[in-house]
Each structure stands twice: as C-alpha cells, then as structure tokens.
Amino acid sequence: MSSLIISGLSKTYISPNTAQRVVFDNFSLEIKHGSIVAVVGANGCGKTTLLNCIAGIMPYEKGNINIDDKNDHNNIGFVFQNYRETLLPWLKNIDNVACTFEQPNFSKSDKHNYIKRWANDHNIILPWEAYPYQCSGGQQQLLALVREFINQPKLLLMDEPFAALDYEKKLVWRQQVETLWEKNPTTVILVSHDIEEAIYLADEVIVFGEQPTRIFGRHKIDIPRPRTPILLQSEIFFQYHRAVLQSFFQATSKI
Amino acid sequence: MRFRILGILIIFLAWEVLSRFVNRLFLPPLSEVMNNLIMLAHTQELYYDIWVTFKRTAIGLSIGTVVGVTVGTLLGSFRTLYQTLRLPMDFVRSIPATALFPLFIVLFGLGDIVKIFVAAWAACLIVIINTLYGFQNISHTRMLIGKLKKFSFGKTVRLIILPSALPYIAAGIRVSLSFALIVELVAEMFLGSQNGLGHRIFAASSVLAMEEVYTGILLIGTLGYVLNSLMLLVERKMIHWSGQG
C-alpha cells in the first residue's frame, strides 16, 4: 500500500514588515493511503501551510513530499473554506465541474454526460444549467465537492470546508463527504479547528502545535463506518474526544 | 412605472407654472419648447445634428476603449511597468481634457478628427484605470484554482483572468460614456464646429433662441440616457454574474 510521505520539510515565512517565522523545521509525517486524516491545532500552527505545500502551490526551502513514492503533484483535489469563491460564477454549474475534469479524449458533451451520469450514480441532484450564484449555499458546496471527487484525486486536501456552516448543516455535510469518500476512496487530509468534526470524519486525528510545528499526538479513531450523528452521544466518542483534547491542550499551552 | 410617469408629469407641470413667473429668457414655457421640438422634428438638420454627435461620441468611445483596455491590461499585468508609469499617468489624468483643447486644435486642426479625438482621450483615461484595477483585483483563490488544476496560460486567461476583469472594464466604459459625451459637446461648442448638438445649443443661445436651447438640452439628456441604457442592457447579458452574491 502506498502513502503520502513528508520528510525533512522546512518552510520559513519571510516578509519585509514582520520578523521571519519558521513554520516547519525538519518536519516529517507519514500518512497511509486511503484513510481520512484530520489535522487539528490552534491558529497559526501551520495546518494550511502544510496543505499548500502538499498541493504544490507554495514553495518550501527543504524536504520531500512524495505521493505514492513520486514527487508528483498532479491530480490533487483541494476543497477550500471559501468554496463559494472557488466556483467560477461566469460558468454554468456543469461547466464548473467540466473545466477541471481531466479526460483528454472527452469532448465537451462527453464530459457533460459523464458528469450527469456520475452525479446520478451518487444520488446527487444539482441544477446543472444554472449558474452558481443562482444556487443555495448547500448546492454550491456540493458542487465544490463533486468537482474534486469526480477526478478521483490520489489525494484530497480539505481546508476547513465546513467552517462557515451552522451546526445542523455541518452534520449533513459530514455525512455527504463520508458517502462520497466511501464510493470514491482516496487519501483525505482534512484541516479543521473543530475536534468533534475531526474525530467524526477521520480514521486518524493528528494534533499540531508550536512553532516550528510539532506533532503532539496521533489518535487512531477506530469507529466503524458509515458514521451517523448519533455517534456524537456515544461513550466511545467522548473517550476519543477527551484524548484528542488532552493533546490539544498540551499543544496550545506551549504557544 | 406609474410613479416614474407621475414624477415626470410633476416636473413638467412645475416647469410650465414656474415659467409664467420668471423672465422667459431664463425659462421659456415647456409648451413652447415642445412646439419648437415638433417644428424642428420636421427638419433634416436636427437628425443630422443628433447623428453627428452620436457618431463622434461612439467612435471616440470605441477607440478610447480599445486603447484603454490594451494599456490597462499591460499595466495591470506587469507590476514594474505600472510602478514606472504611475506618476506620469496620474499627472496626465489630473489635467481636465478641456484644458488640453487649445493644444489639440494645434495638433489636429478643427475638423472631425479633433472632435473624435477628445472623446477617445477622455474615455481612454478612465478605461485604463478601471482595466488596471480589474486585473489587479483578481481573486487570489481563483488564481490558486488555476494553478492547482494545472491550467495552461491560455486557459487561465480565458476562464479566470478575463472574466474577472470584465465587470471592472464594463463599469469603466459606462462611466467614460458620460465623460466622452461631455467633452464631445464642449468640443462642438468651441472647436469651430458647424454641426452637432453642442453646436446647436451654443448657436441658439448666442441669438437668445431659448426654446431651442432647451430643446437641445432635452435631446442631449435623452441621447445620454439612451446610450447608458443600451450599455446596461449589454452588460446584463455579458456579465450577468456581476453583483450577484
């Protein structure tokens, strides 16, 4: 089984106005293929920086980030917190998915048909001929998820994708993500500042802290899938929550 | 709609009443202005004047837009170019177009060319600034998407950069339309014109034909309003997403 291996990563922010900030200094992390890994930690502990480095949209000074033993950053999915802004309002919903859908031999209508069929198979109903701004927030978020999952990315990065939602909606969306992921298995790295969400979705929760970033705890979450919100009331969930929280407090007390 | 018509009726009524109490040199009754308009509507010259003013403004605006978008794109794309040209550009922009008229006369004479040039000049400066801002304000997240999905340069321009800048450019064109019309009319009044709506009101006022002055003003207002509405119509089709959530 292949995996994501980060070794010896060093990253320093240098800006003319503020003191330089060492985010990563010889940082290493290994993530097993096919699992959902949640990264939690206080603000400024390098969670988003890590995602950006993995995605290949941010340079770093030293280290290696290998996916399946290759330093290849193609076909990495990314769901941003401000998903609304990642949709292109001048394109219809279907074209928003089609424009990042990689199938070199497909014509435009092939792509459209494929997307509609794919959505059908996943019981996803979206107004394909409408524009994103004509859709509800939930539809826009779903669109952003479909856009990533349909490419079957070898790695899917999620940067606080639920941060802007109210609690009730979060519950729905966690399930939606889990369902999509079970049908389209891939490695997911979910950055979150919500411990409950991290435990609920992940196979493993990693707690980040300090500067430069250090790992304060890795907690395997051994709860069978599919998970449902009722889980949040269970004793086992509380136990995991307590354990993760303990690492979290450790991490934050050092800042 | 009903209230809009009511608003116009009230203003017309007030005009008619007020004109009975003031010197008719300042404000001739609306009824006489309307008579004058109907009379002029039977002559060829009126249509010719409207056409000439429209044509000069439209050509000037088009040239100004093409030049403005080109220069604005370059300035918005190359930071060093912008930093180098910022000061001289802001200086030139601070000079009212009308202050340059005497210079333009020397350069271009008194023909049609100078009258098209002034409209192009005024439009160009505004479109440059708006285009520039359009390119400088492209959403960082959207550019990231392009980078993440390995868009080619052409695809990035077509799918992200151009549509992002388009609403700014459109706003620039719409603002410059009013400015182009202003300088066009001034040019027609003072740059030795023998036709155009600007020339018409100026000539009428010099012989104190006040009904005709007011007719001209109403026509110019209508022309500006119609042009602006047309522009809005095109905008709504082309940049339907602008201003939506």
Q: In this structure, are A99 and A163 located in the same domain?
A: no
Same domain? A216 vs A140: no
| Any domain includes A251 | yes
A199 and A242 in a single domain? The answer is: yes
The total domain count for chain A is 2
Domain coverage including residue A208: 16-75+153-255
Greatest mean pLDDT range, A52-56, A81-85, B61-65: B61-65
Chain B residues whose CB is inside 8 A of the A81 CB are none
Tell me, what CATH number does A55's domain have?
3.40.50.300
Q: Measured between CB atoms, does B240 come within 8 Å of chain A?
A: yes
Is residue A170 domain-shared with residue A215, that is, in the same domain? yes
pLDDT in tens, A115-165: 999 999 999 999 999 999 999 888 998 999 999 999 999 899 999 888 878
Residue numbers in B near A56 (CB within 8 A)? 148
Asked whether the beta carbons of residue B160 and residue A88 sit closer than 8 angstroms, the reply is yes
Q: In terms of Cα–Cα distance, which of B114, B112, B113 is closest to B195?
A: B112
Smallest CA–CA distance from B146 into chain A, residue? A100
* Separation between Cα atoms, residue B228 and residue B240, nearest integer Å: 17
Write down which residue in A151, A186, A205 finishes a domain.
A151
A:B CB pairs within 8 Å: 43
Nearest-angstrom CA–CA distance, A122 and A139: 15
User: Which residues of chain B lie closer than 8 angstroms to A72, CB-CB?
Assistant: none
With respect to residue A42, please indicate whether it lies within any of the assigned structural domains: yes
Structure tokens given for B73: 């794109």
| pTM of the predicted model as reported, rounded to 2 decimal places | 0.84
Q: Please tell me whether residues A160 and A146 are part of one structural domain.
A: no
How far B240 CA sits from the closest chain A CA (Å)? 8
In this structure, are A160 and A228 located in the same domain? Answer: yes
Clarify whether residues A135 and A163 are in a common domain: no
**Identity (one letter) of the amino acid at A107?**
S
Domain boundary, last residue among A107, A135, A151: A151
Do A34 and A20 belong to one domain?
yes
A1: pLDDT confidence band, cut at 50, 70 and 90? Answer: very low
Residue A192 falls inside a structural domain = yes
What is the SS3 string spanning chain B?
Answer: CHHHHHHHHHHHHHHHHHCCCCCCCCCCCHHHHHHHHHHHHCCHHHHHHHHHHHHHHHHHHHHHHHHHHHHHHHHHHCHHHHHHHHHHHHHHHHCCHHHHHHHHHHHHCCCHHHHHHHHHHHHHHHHHHHHHHHHHCCCHHHHHHHHHCCCCHHHHHHHHHHHHHHHHHHHHHHHHHHHHHHHHHHHHHHCCCCCCHHHHHHHHHHCCCHHHHHHHHHHHHHHHHHHHHHHHHHHHHHCCCCCCC
Question: Residue A129: its chain B contacts at CB < 8 A?
Answer: none
Question: Virtual CA dihedral for A39, A41, A44, A48, nearest 10 degrees?
Answer: 10
**Do A74 and B150 count as a contact with CB atoms less than 8 A apart?**
yes
State how far Cα A132 lies from the chain centre. 22
Say whether both A120 and A175 belong to one domain: no
Residue A10 lies inside a defined structural domain of this protein: no
Q: For residue B148, which residues of chain A lie inside 8 Å, CB to CB?
A: 55-57, 76, 78
Q: Is residue A11 part of a domain?
A: no
Look at A24-33, A162-171, A180-189, B42-51 and tell me which has the smallest mean pLDDT.
A162-171
Q: Would you state the pLDDT for residue A81?
A: 84
Residue A45, pLDDT score: 83
Residues of chain A neighbouring B244 (CB-CB closer than 8 A): 89, 131, 133-134
**Which pLDDT score, from 0 to 100, does residue A164 have?**
78
Q: How far is B149 from chain A (nearest CA, A)?
A: 6
A103 in contact with B at a CB cutoff of 8 Å? no
To the nearest whole Å, the CA of B242 is away from the closest chain A CA by: 8
Distance CA B84, CA A212 (A): 39
Domain co-membership, A53 together with A145: no
The DSSP result for A199-216, as a single string, is HHH-SEEEEEETTTTEEE
Mean pLDDT, all residues of chain A: 90
Domain assignment present for residue A84? The answer is no
* Reported ipTM exceeds the 0.90 cut: no
- B32-238 adopts what CATH topology? MetI-like fold (1.10.3720)
pLDDT of residue B198: 95
Kindly list the distances between the CA atom of residue B243 and the CA atoms of A175, A177, B240, in Å, as whole numbers in the listed order.
33, 31, 8
Residue of chain B nearest A151, judged by CA positions: B149
| pLDDT mean across residues, chain B | 93
- Cβ neighbours of residue B122 under 8 Å, at least 6 residues apart? B60, B64, B97, B176, B179, B180, B182, B183
- Domain regions of chain B by residue span: 32-238
> Quick one: pLDDT band at residue A85, thresholds 50, 70, 90?
confident
B86 versus A42: the higher-pLDDT residue is B86
| Per-residue pLDDT reduced to its tens digit, A214-253 | 899 999 999 999 999 999 999 999 999 999 999 999 988 8
A78 closest CB neighbour out of B139, B148, B240: B148
Last residue of a domain, one of A101, A129, A151: A151
Looking at the fold, whether A200 and A230 belong to one and the same domain comes out as yes
- A134 found inside a domain: yes
Contacts of B240 in chain A (CB under 8 A): 90, 131
- Contact (CB, 8 A) for A36 and A63: no
Residue from B141, B147, B148 whose CB has the most chain A CBs within 10 Å, to mutate: B148
- Angstroms from B159 CA to nearest CA on chain A: 8
Whats the size of chain A, residue-wise?
A: 255
Instruction: Mark whether A174 and A255 lie in a shared domain.
Output: yes
